[in-house]
Copies of this chain bind each other. A is one copy, B any other.
Amino acid sequence: MSAMPIHKLHKHEKGHKEIGDERYELRLSGSGGHGVILAAVILAQAIGSDREINVVQTQSYGPEARGGASRSDMVVSREEIYYPKTMKLDLLLAFTQEACDKYARDIKPGGLLIVDSNQVTKIPIKNCYGFPFFRAAREQVGHPMAANVIALGTIAELIGIVPREALRAVVRERSPKGTEEMNLKALQVGFDMARGAKRH
């Protein structure tokens, strides 16, 4: 594991980052089949491989979680996390318009929205980056299911919350046999995509 320091997260200035003592809250959302829960499991494990960082990653199933949208939440902090539910999101990934419509209100002032730029066209806040995750999955990775891993790479790179090598290690570990290379390629596509980030 790299000992790369995780700096104070100056939100949305790429490359400047830190998890401070305050909480940093993320939600990944999409539809069933988009792999957002698996992406969250990977991201949380990779972030948590830094010994000084605590992560709680949660899936909820209940009335408010139903209706087509799939989501996973994460709370990240250097301090012990007493309250593991998200309150106001620092970052929301929305793969679908439905997920965006449903969860954008949970973003805190100044928080960041990341969307699939072809799926989500009604953008409710200014602080939004759009990326063609699904198109890149088809065209650059050759596998439509890889959008979740691409988004993982893009998010990690944008917010600088986890070293690339930590993420690669967990993606490799959690890839079904025979899909390791495809997923590592998808992750790299995601890393590269973050470099071309533009506000929506």
Which residue of chain B is the closest to A179 with respect to CB atoms?
B176
The count of residues in chain A whose C-beta lies closer than 8 Å to any C-beta of chain B is 32
Contact B41 A61 (CB under 8 A): no
What does DSSP make chain A's interface, helix, strand, loop or mixed?
mixed
What per-residue 1/0 map shows which CB atoms of A53-66 lie under 8 Å from chain B? 11111111111011
How distant is the Cα of A116 from the Cα of B27 in the complex, in angstroms? 35
A84 at the interface (CB under 8 A from B): yes
Q: Which residues of B contact A44 (CB under 8 A)?
A: 59, 61
Instruction: Give 14 A-B contacts (CB < 8 Å), ordered by A residue.
Output: A38-B41, A41-B41, A48-B60, A54-B61, A54-B63, A55-B61, A55-B62, A56-B60, A56-B61, A57-B59, A57-B60, A62-B80, A176-B176, A176-B177
